[in-house]
Amino acid sequence: MREVAVIAVAQTPSVRRERTRNEVEMLMPVLAEALRRSGLRREEIGFTVSGSCDYLAGQPFSFVSALDAVGAWPPITESHVEMDGAFALYEAWIKLQTGEVDSALVYAFGKSSMGDLPEVLGYQLDPYVLAPLGVDAVSLAALQARAWLEATGRSERDLARVAVRSRRDALENPNAQLKGTFELEKLLAEPYLVAPLRKHDCPPISDGAAAVVLAGDEVARRVCRRPAWIRGIDQRIEPHAPGVRDLARSPSSELAGRNAGARHGRIDVAELHAPFTHQEWILREALGLGEEVTVNPSGGALAANPMMVAGLLRIGEAAQRVMDGRARRALAHATAGPCLQQNLVCVLEA
Amino acid sequence: MGRPCAVIGVGQTKHDAKRIDVSMPGLLREAALRALEDAGLGFGDVDAVVIGKAPDMFEGVVMPEIYLADALGAAGKPMLRVHTAGSVGGSTAVVAAQLVQSGVFERVLTVAFEKQSESNAMWALTLKIPFQQSVVAGAGGYFAPLIRAYMRRSGAPEDTGIRVALKDRLNALKNPYAHLHFPGISFEQVASSPMLWDPIRFLETCPSSDGACALVLASEDAARGAPGPAAWVHATAMKSEPTMFAGRDQVNPRAGRDCARELYRKAGIGDPRRELDAAEVYVPFSWFEPMWLENLGFAPEGSGWKLVYDGATSLEGDIPWNASGGVLSSNPIGASGMLRFAEAALQVRGRAGEHQVPGARKALGHAYGGGSQFFAMWIVGAEKP
Amino acid sequence: MSEPVKSIVTPVRLDYVYTAGVASTRFLQGLAQGRILGQRCPVTGKVYVPPRGSSPTHGVPTEEEVEVSDKGTVTTYCIVRIPSENLSVKPPFVCAHILLDGADIPFFALIQGCPFDQVRMGMRVRAVWAPKEELAPTFESIRWFEPIDEPDAAYESYAEHL
């Protein structure tokens, strides 16, 4: 395996609704900042790949106009996945492994505020037998939360604690959207949104964009003082129908974690893409992360959840900690599909 | 570059206006099962799955790969879904090949599809988006002015497009999977078909099709066990340029030229016309053949139409283009690019049936998309590079 | 009764709120005033109409606003013979690329006001605006373009835009 590292990260602050700028205008400063931090010039980037979703943007081919933010001239080697940017990063890592390129610019953008996000995500479901039931993403998550509570004997208080911690930690993150000191008892007194989930158990709706620069060993060592080396990266998908899965566990995260070498050493910090509080618990267990591991110091998806970006942000946040010297070994996780159907795990090391 | 990668299985569906006989998973599995059978493998032997398709509005399912994971036996495996507009079928094959070339995976199943009859492709393509100009004339209306520009620049005779359409439609008669079959098609029939977007006539235009294409890609080790001949990937390349900028040449886009040049360099090809035996090129409107002949270096700029006139690109010519009938005969948008890549592989494996180019050893697969701005290409050969 | 279900129809309705973006907002506000506004790329000096907020070749913001003429040259065109859902104009109608005087990329628009077979490359045209009271921040403020009484532009003057 060729050594590949994250050498730069940039992001917009996540906001409830980006009213003024369109996707191109949001992306331009993020891409410029990522390149500036990387120490590489635009022309030196070997491969560019992005993640975004047409149904989020309410128009087909929505990623095409985003290319105007990149400055794709002379023509560049470029690709796109209709997935979270974390999976675009996976594609970039694979390309670097072939030896064809020595650096890659990965970016993602999403304006979840444009449509009714839980409804839009409901259309990810089997169009013949599931989608027509009208079940939305929050309801499905609630189904999973119920399954987890029953399987583990844990409580809604355990869920609320995750919410409190995440939003409190987010106070340190200038890019986080939902932050503050919330009182556990007050939260538990709130009505259910979709039982057993309350509003605080759910992620905010966010608009945002992010970019990450990857480089192969030679380039990384040349331009970056402290690259965050990708020691392992893997992603796995589970069957789709919620009815055939054990929603209380995440076997694909476990598998991806194992393949990425998550347990090969002590993890200092983990950034887990858990939009719902119960999912953090499920992922901790799947990835073998004990209480001593700091989880989501950025606040995680509970503090900022720009769709198609949130997974990439986990990798970015984890990598930034390694690059800053605040962590020696970090784990990043990204998810896609209903109830953690698809999962990516990335292990980063100084 | 990277580890060797071979195509050991190819499968495609019968392409048609509406495949109402199968569901979406059924459509994909038709292609996937054929490819797996061709490779002598089952779903369980596959290490990773890559899906490619165009905008999700064509089927009305958001990120359908999430739902289709089950149908393709992807549970427990990595999965990617590529979307690069019209070139997606090609770029999907490139991404799948990279999974093998990276050394990380041994056997990759890749499927590209479109079941655009489920939703409404015309609606999706002309969706009225607030604050943006209305698309009033569809893809044809977008490309017709470029074709007119080519005609002006090159001085090509007006019936060049008709000749290309006739050739591709005659070829399609030898391809049982093709959507459009016009037995007894003639020059006069094409010439007298209704003009849609002057200068593009109805029979010079691609259809809207449901269809899927699948490939099984394998490492050198895994290819050893394959029952049939392998098509070795000699090179892949992808290039993109912005949709519109001052001085942009949309008729002979630089991204296409750069992509081809990089591809030939990697594959050690100096003269594509002489050194390639066949080409499957994304020609959705007949006039794109002479334009792409120039863009891909088969003819000097301004002379692409001469190869058409000479019959060089017909099945009997020295460099048959689109022996399968091409995009003019079948156009499931997400799959069309992969079909070009797949047909190129079939040629060098000697498995193209009635539309086989005799003795083909090296072939080009090409796909493009967007405003002639996204290009994905590969060269496959009977010999390991 | 025992007929297998062959298909189902599942209507989907999704509502979206779109943002024009800073550049498009300026452009559309200009149209509401009967003006065509573009933006200049700071690196190449080229004027983009409609402006995108970024220079596509360099990925940098295009902040300098430039007003361009509503007269221009047809660089290329096609005659559409099939009806369009988005348009009330009946076929055959002409879609053209028009290089407005002062702009560096062509503007896509309809041509009316002359027999469609008289449209030609190099033809000089001017925008036909909606009546003053109907001007609004929308592309529909320009109804179409029609020929004006000026000699055709020389091929060389627009050849690079083909």
- Spatial neighbors of B96 by CB under 8 A, at least 6 apart, are B48, B50, B108, B109, B110, B215, B217
- Residue B182 belongs to some domain of the structure: no
Its pTM stands at 0.97
- The pair of three-digit structure tokens given for residue A102, joined into one six-digit string: 């020595």
Would you call B240 and A127 a contact, using CB atoms and an 8 Å cutoff? no
The pLDDT tens digits for B206-265 are 999 999 999 999 999 999 999 999 999 999 999 999 999 998 999 999 999 999 999 999
Nearest to C129 by CA among C89, C49, C70, C53: C70
Give CA–CA dist B133/B110, Å, rounded. Answer: 36
The Cα of C44 is separated from the nearest Cα of chain A by a number of Å equal to 12
B140 interaction partners in chain C (CB closer than 8 Å): 78, 80
Three-class DSSP labels, B277-341: CEEECCCCECCHHHHHHHHCCCCCCCCHHHHHHHCCCCCCCCCCECCCCHHHHCCCHHHHHHHHH
Other Cβ atoms closer than 10 A to B221? 11
Q: Which of B84, B101, B266 to mutate to test the interface with A (most CBs of A within 10 A)?
A: B84
Question: Residues B262-321: pLDDT tens digits?
Answer: 999 999 999 999 999 999 999 999 999 999 999 999 999 999 999 999 999 999 999 999
Residues 53 through 82 of chain C touching chain B, CB cutoff 8 Å? 55-57, 75-82
Report domain extents, chain A. 4-116+205-228, 130-201+231-349
Would the CB atoms of A115 and C10 count as touching at under 8 Å? no
Domain membership flag for residue B312 = no
**Which token pair is B211?**
């269809």
Contact A73 C60 (CB under 8 A): no
pLDDT band at B121 (very low <50, low <70, confident <90, very high): confident
C17 touching A (Cβ < 8 Å)? yes
The overall average pLDDT reported for chain B is 96
Question: With an 8 Å Cβ cutoff, is C20 touching chain B?
Answer: yes
Q: Do C21 and A131 touch (CB under 8 A)?
A: no
Test C57 with A71 for CB contact under 8 angstroms: yes
User: Are the Cβ atoms of B61 and A124 closer than 8 angstroms?
Assistant: yes
3-state helix, strand, coil in chain C (%, to 5): 15, 30, 55
Q: Which residues make beta-bridge pairs with A216?
A: A4
What pLDDT does A71 receive?
A: 93
The pLDDT of residue B176 is above 80: yes
> Looking up tokens 């690259």, which residue turns up?
A227
The whole-angstrom separation of Cα C80 and Cα C108 is: 14
Question: Number of structural domains, chain B?
Answer: 1
Residue (of B93, B6, B54, B151) closest to B369 by Cα position:
B54
How far away is chain C from the Cα of B34, in angstroms, using its nearest Cα? 23
Res C1: pLDDT: 66
A237/B69 touch (CB, cutoff 8 Å), yes or no:
yes
Spell out, as residue ranges, where chain A has pLDDT lower than 50. Answer: none
Distance CA A234, CA B150 (A): 47
Give all chains having 3 or more CB-to-CB distances under 8 Å with chain B.
A, C
Q: In 3-state terms, what secondary structure has residue C94?
A: strand
User: Measured between alpha carbons, how far is C51 from C25 in angstroms, rounded to an integer?
Assistant: 10
How far apart CA A275 and CA A143 sit, in angstroms, is 14
Asked if B195's CB is within 8 angstroms of C80's CB, the reply is no
Asked if pLDDT for residue C31 goes beyond 70, the answer is yes
Which residues contact residue B63 at a Cβ distance below 8 angstroms, ignoring those fewer than 6 apart? Answer: A53, A55, A82, A83, A124, A336, A337, B56, B81
Is B267 part of any domain? no
Query: How many Å from the N-terminal Cα to the C-terminal Cα in chain A?
Result: 17
User: CB distance from C29 to chain A under 8 Å?
Assistant: no
Q: Is B380 helix (H, G, I), strand (E, B) or coil?
A: strand
Q: What is the pLDDT of residue C162?
A: 66
Asked whether the domain spanning A130-201+231-349 has the same topology as the one spanning A4-116+205-228, the reply is yes
pLDDT at res. A70: 95
Fold of A4-116+205-228: Peroxisomal Thiolase; Chain A, domain 1 (3.40.47)
- Report the half-sphere exposure of B340 (CA within 13 A, side-chain side): 35
Closest CA to A346 of A251, A267, A240: A267
Q: Do A55 and C14 touch (CB under 8 A)?
A: yes
Question: CA A335, CA A311: separation in Å to the nearest integer?
Answer: 7
Question: In chain B, positions 13-32, which contact chain A (CB-CB < 8 Å)?
Answer: 23-24
| C52, C58, C82: best to mutate for the B interface, most B CBs within 10 A | C82
Phi, psi of A145 (to 5 degrees): -60, -45
Bridge partner residues of C99 (DSSP): C73
Asked if this assembly's ipTM is beyond 0.85, the reply is yes
Candidate from B129, B141, B251 with C-beta closest to C80: B141
Shortest alpha-carbon distance between residue C63 and chain B (Å): 16
Do residues A113 and A207 lie in contact, with contact meaning Cβ atoms separated by under 8 Å? yes
Contact B330, B207 (CB under 8 A): yes
Per-residue pLDDT of C76-112, as tens digits, reads 998 998 887 767 778 888 999 999 999 999 999 999 9
Among C93, C104, C153, C155, residue whose Cα is nearest residue C125: C153
pLDDT for residue C10 is more than 70: yes
CATH at residue B68: 3.40.47.10
Boundaries of domain holding B104: 5-120+210-224
| 3-state SS track over chain A | CCCEEEEEEEECCCECCCCCCCHHHHHHHHHHHHHHHHCCCHHHCCEEEEECCHHHHCCCCHHHHHHHHCCCCCCECEEEECCCHHHHHHHHHHHHHHCCCCEEEEEEEEEHHHCCHHHHHHCCCCCCCCHHHCCCHHHHHHHHHHHHHHHHCCCHHHHHHHHHHHHHHHHHCCCCCCCCCCCHHHHHHCCEEECCEEHHHCCCCEEEEEEEEEEEHHHHHHHCCCCEEEEEEEEEECCCCHHHCCCCCCHHHHHHHHHCCHHHCCCCEEECCCCCHHHHHHHHHHHCCCCCCEECCCCHHHCCCECCCHHHHHHHHHHHHHHHCCCCEEEEEEEECCCCCEEEEEEEEC
Q: Is residue B374 part of a domain?
A: no
- What gap in Å lies between CA B132 and CA C86, rounded to an integer? 12
- Token pair for A309: 């970006």
DSSP C139: G
Chain A contact present for B265, CB below 8 A: no
The lowest-confidence range among B97-101, B134-138, C76-80, C141-145 is B134-138
CB contact under 8 A, B126 and C87: no
In words, the CATH class of domain A130-201+231-349 is: alpha beta
User: By the CB < 8 Å criterion, does C63 face chain A?
Assistant: no
**Which of C76, C81, C161 comes nearest B195 by C-beta?**
C81
Q: Is residue B24 part of a domain?
A: yes
Task: Measure the CA dihedral A27/A31/A37/A39, to 10°.
Answer: -170
3-state secondary structure of B138: helix
Bridge-based pairing state of the strands C36-40 and A228-237? unpaired
Among the partner-chain residues C18, C59, C61, the one whose CB lies closest to the CB of A70 is C59
Q: Please name the chains neighbouring C, where neighbouring means 3+ C-beta pairs under 8 angstroms.
A: A, B
pLDDT, one tens digit per residue, over B306-339 is 999 999 999 999 999 999 999 999 999 999 999 9
- Closest chain C residue to the Cα of A20, Cα to Cα: C21
Q: Minimal Cα distance from B135: which residue of C?
A: C86
For residue B273, the Cα-to-chain-centroid distance in whole angstroms is 19
Confidence (pLDDT) at C84: 75
